[in-house]
Structure formats: C-alpha cells, structure tokens
Chain A
Amino acid sequence: MTSASQTVGSKPQLQQHTRTGSLSATKWITRFLVYAMLILLGITWIFPLYWMIISALKDDPQIYTVPPVLIPNPAFWNNFYDGWMRYDFNRAAFNSVFLYSVPVTIFTLVSSMVVAYGFAKIPWRGRDALFWVCIATMMLPWQVTMVPLFIIFKNLGWINTYLPFVVPSLFGSAYFIFLLRQFFLSIPEELSDAARIDGASEIGILWRIIVPLSKPAIAVVLLFRFLWSWNDYLGPLIYINSEAMQPLALAIYRLRTLATSMGTTSMAYPHLMAVSTLVALPIILIFIFAQRTFIEGISTTGLKG
C-alpha cells in the first residue's frame, strides 16, 4: 500500500516550527484558536447524533416543548423497546443481517480475493489490459445499469428476494479487487515461489500464504462491504416490495410516515429517533472498535463511507 497508511496516527509534523524563542505568545494564541475552532466544530458535528439519542429518550410533550429540552427528564428508556416493537423490526434486522449484509460481505471478500490473486500473482498474457477494464468499471455510474439489471432479475423471478444483491457479489467487486490486488503485489514473490517448489497449488498459496499476510486489507473489505450493505437504501427500495422482506433502512421509513401523518400525540417521533439510533449503533460501534482499519482503508484508497 502507499506510505499514507504508515503515517496515519503518527506524530504531528508541524509542531516545532514556531520554537524560535519570542514567538511563544503567538503560539499560545494560535493554539487556543485551534482548540476553540475544533471544539465548536466538534459540537456542531456531533449535535445531530446527540439530538437523535436525546430525542429517543423523550415523550411527546418533551419533544414538542419550546425551548427545546436538552436533557430529557424523565428519560423514557422504554422508547427503544416500544419503537422497535411498533413494527416488526426484529424481522427487518434479520433481513438486514442474514439475508443481505453477511452473505454479500462474505461472498464479495472470497470472490474478490480469488480474482485479485489472478491479477496480482499469476503472470499471464492480457492480464494488465483486463485489469484496466476492471478499473474502468469503477467509473461507471450504477444508474446506467440499474434498469436493465432490474429487468433481468425480474425475469428470473428474483423480485422481493435478496438474490439481486447476493448473486452479483459472487463475481467480485471492482473496488475490492483493486484494493486487494495492490496489497497482494506488496507481498514478496519469494514466499509464493518457495511454496510452489514445495508443490503447493495456487489456491493453496492464496489460502495459506497470501490470506494470513493480508489481514489488514481483508479487514478493510469486510468493513466497507458490510457498511455499504447495511446502509443501502435504493437497492432494497427497488427490489424489495413486501414489508416482511424489508431491511432496516426501509423499515425505518414506515415510522417516518407515521411521524408525519399522526401528529404530536402518537409517540412517533421519539420512536423514530429510537429506532434510528438502534440502526446507526452497530455502525458506530464497529467504527469505535475498528477505527484504524477504517482510517487506513480510506486514506489508502479513498473508499467512501
């Protein structure tokens, strides 16, 4: 990978420049201003998420009070349960996890690794030309293929199933093929050659030598593919047309409709905020525990969140 990954999280490089003696007053003022701006920006950036969680703990009167209630008292912790149970969010969570995110993430990883290995570790004619085609497909806006793909999957009878997401993930994803290939290229050829002399097959080399050395790249693929499928809205909107099959992202929208149609006494807003919090929570937790992987994935390849 590039050197960016090595410097992420490293010590700041600009610090000692003003150490020329009499400048310390300016230095302290600058430092104060930097902190002031960061704190202000931090509060602004975190406020919507704070508001989401706080509103999830209110009842209707607190939600609609002016001036706004910053700390709910009393806090209605039951809202998380009540909101979740208002519609069948258990089913939606099952769909999101087991029918969509998990299979798509695993299949994308495995298929992209196999393809990336073919592009990185086996020399063959036409390899580089086809790799450029692979990269070029990343530029293709998916709206262009959206309608014909819908027609294909509709003719196959895959509407209202997750097959339109799962089946294509068996064929690799250009982004991750690119990412894994770059990583594989950085693994010394001598390791593979030694294994070849010992009679290992290419699949064996991929599995026993490349995979254990590629854990950082594999983590990036797993994280981002999971994130994208968890957050996907338009895909399910097109393919899923029964409430029972909806993933969480779509199911939330039912609460929004309720909130805008039922007015101020339905507990719809607190419940909407509670369920939004619960759906965002796994992503925030994953980020907190896998922060390094996220940051490295982005700074080395520019993957969008």
Chain B
Amino acid sequence: MAVATAPRRGMTKTERRNQILGLLFISPWLIGFLLFALFPLLASLYYSMTNYDFIRDPQFIGLTNYVRLFTIDPDFWTVMYNTVYYVGFGVPLGIAVAFLIANLLNSDIRGRTFFRSIIYIPSIVPAVCAAMVWLFILNVQYGAINGILKTMGWATIPFLSSPDLAKPSLIMIYVWAQGTAVVIFLAALQDVPRSLYDAALVDGANAWARFWNVTVPMCTPVILFNFIMGIITAFQDFTLPFVLTGGGPMKSTEFYVVSLYRNAFVQFSIGKASAMAWILFLIILVFSVILFRSSARWVYYGGEK
C-alpha cells in the first residue's frame, strides 16, 4: 500500500510527472472535500454557537445553545431518551436476530438463495414504501394484525397510537430491515475454515459448544463491524419514524434526526439544530471509540494483526 511516500530530495522526471498526475486525478475529491465537507463542518460548528434563523445575520452567543439543550430545553432529553432506547434495544436485537438467521441459512439446506432474498429484500425496499405498508398493517382499526386479533375475539393492540408501544413497534420494523447484516454474517460464516469444526468434532464438542467456541469467536470481527454500523445508522434513522409516526404519539418516537430536522427546517432554529448535529457527531464518535477499545477484549482476529 505504501508506495513512494518517503520524502526524497530531488524528484526524477517520472516522479514529478506522477506527483502532478496523482494530484490531478484526486483533485475532484479534494475540491469536493473542501467545499462539501470541511467548510460546512466548520460552518456548522460556528452556527452552533450562534443565534440564527436563515433571515437575520447570525449572532455569536458562545456555548449557550449547548447549555440550553442540556439544561432548559423541554424536548432534548425526551428526544435523547427515545433515541437511546431505539438504538440500545434495536441494534443488539437486530444483530442477534440477523446472526441467528445467518446461521440458519448457513446450515445444510436447499433454497438458501431464495430464503436469503426474502430476508434481504425488505432492507432495500424504499423506506417510504415500507413505512406506508407498516402504517397500514399496524393500524388499530383496519390493520392486518389487529384484524386477525379481532377475528380471534382478542383485544386489539394500538401499535403506533400508544406512546408505550410506538417505540417497540419501530424497533420491530428496524429488525425486519436488517437484511444487510444477515448477508454480511452469512459471508463471514462461509469463511470460517472447516478444519476448525473438524477439530472441535474430534474433541467431542456438540453443536452448541461448536457454535459458542468456533462460530461466534470467528465472527466477532464482523459482529463488531455490524455493531458500529448499526449504531451509526440507527442514531441517524429518519424516514421511518418521520413518515410512520411523525414523532408521535406524544413525542414518543421523536428521534434525534427527526427533531434536528424540525428544529432546522420547520422552526428555523439553526443554532440549536447545529448544536444538536455536533452533539450527535460526538455521541457517534464516542460510541465507536468505546466499541473499538472494548474490541481488544472480545474480538478475535485469528492470530494476525
């Protein structure tokens, strides 16, 4: 990977040519990075320390937005609680279910491709379409699930209209859309060397022991990867809660980015929204670092690296 990065005194003609060509080839990214990443990043940091509504000039107010969010803001802690609840239950549950399904798919079965497709398709269907059909399925009056419950003479379940059930309902839909994780796990399972299972078998390990002592350790790098990706994306989930519940009932599904969007583009509280964006950035960063740090204790890298 490391080629010609060592600084040298004079450059040969080819080296000089390569230096110019290399920079020329990557220049679109470099310009894009400066214009659409670095500059907005710094601008956002600045806005987060101002009072700004798109119309009047931004007024610098230091860390006031952050202090207000943490202390007197009526919604911030509700939003934080909702999001942490969603991420905290949804991501581990999603990983557990995805890992289980991947193991089922990896056993000696026919129709693996067929089952894998069925599990995977929900994760690529447009979130709006998925939200629309779930909205309909979970409806208290006409939804399919409550229709069945009514037929049985049982009580209906207000999935999306009860503040207690709205979050678990969204978590259920989140788990349903974890096909990507299943595919990643399946690929990892198929990479586990057979010799390890053979050795375990010789040692007299039963299926359960083989699962915990061979399969799980060999998949820990991928579990870590899915964990980090899961946390990053779940913290940023927007379309599903926005379309399905609009944050309700009683703000029970007002998740972080839904609230951020509203603050920025409905309330025009740009300062507050920018502060929220930076807090989110730091939360994701801290979680990722903690997971990476902890990984030394539970992730097995096969003796390499």
Task: List the interface of chain A (C-beta within 8 A of B).
Answer: 3-4, 7-10, 12-15, 17, 30-31, 34-35, 37-38, 41-42, 45-49, 51-52, 55, 63-68, 111, 114-115, 117-119, 122-130, 133-134, 137, 139-152, 154, 168, 170-172, 174, 177, 185, 202, 227, 230-231, 233-234, 237-238, 248-249, 252-253, 256, 264, 269, 272-273, 276-277, 279-280, 283-284, 287-288, 291, 294-295, 298-300, 302-305
Contacts and interface: CB of A to CB of B under 8 A. Distances in A.
A115 B133 contact: no
Contacts of B232: 139, 141
B304 interface: no
A233 B244 CA distance: 13
Interface string B98-129: 00010011111100110111111111111111
A10 B190 contact: yes
Contact of B24 (A37, A41, A118, A127): A118
B283 to A, nearest CB: 9
A47 B136 CA distance: 12
Interface stretch (B63-71, B81-89, B259-267, B295-303): B259-267
A254 to B, nearest CB: 11
Contacts of A34: 104, 107, 109
Contacts of A256: 132, 135, 243
Contacts of A118: 21-26
A contacts with B: majority SS: helix
A205 B186 CA distance: 36
B61 interface: no
A269 B18 contact: no
Contact of B126 (A51, A67, A115, A279): A279
Given A128-B1, A287-B121, A13 B133 contact: no
B144 A51 contact: yes
Interface string B180-205: 10011011101110100110010000
B43 A148 contact: yes
Interface size, B (range): 35 or more
A33 to B, nearest CB: 9
A45 B19 contact: no
B30 interface: yes
A130 B126 CA distance: 34
4 tightest CB-CB pairs across the interface, nearest first? A171-B32, A118-B25, A124-B22, A299-B187
Contact of B123 (A129, A202, A305): A305
Nearest to A260: B135
A253 to B, nearest CB: 7
Given A7-B190, A111-B28, A253-B243, 18 more contacts: A12-B106, A13-B106, A13-B197, A14-B108, A66-B151, A118-B22, A124-B19, A134-B29, A141-B236, A141-B280, A143-B236, A148-B39, A252-B128, A253-B128, A256-B135, A272-B136, A273-B136, A305-B123
B31 interface: yes
A63 B142 contact: yes
Given A4-B187, A125-B19, A49 B125 contact: yes
Given A133-B33, A298-B183, A140 B281 contact: yes
Interface of B: 1-5, 7, 18-19, 21-26, 28-33, 35-37, 39-41, 43-44, 47, 54, 101, 104-109, 112-113, 115-130, 132-137, 141-142, 144, 147-148, 150-151, 176-177, 179-180, 183-184, 186-188, 190-192, 194, 197-198, 201, 207, 210, 225-226, 229, 232-233, 235-236, 238-239, 242-243, 257, 260-261, 264-265, 270, 273-274, 277-278, 280-281, 284-285, 288
Contacts of B141: 64
Contact of B184 (A66, A68, A133, A302): A302
B3 A149 contact: no
B252 to A, nearest CB: 18
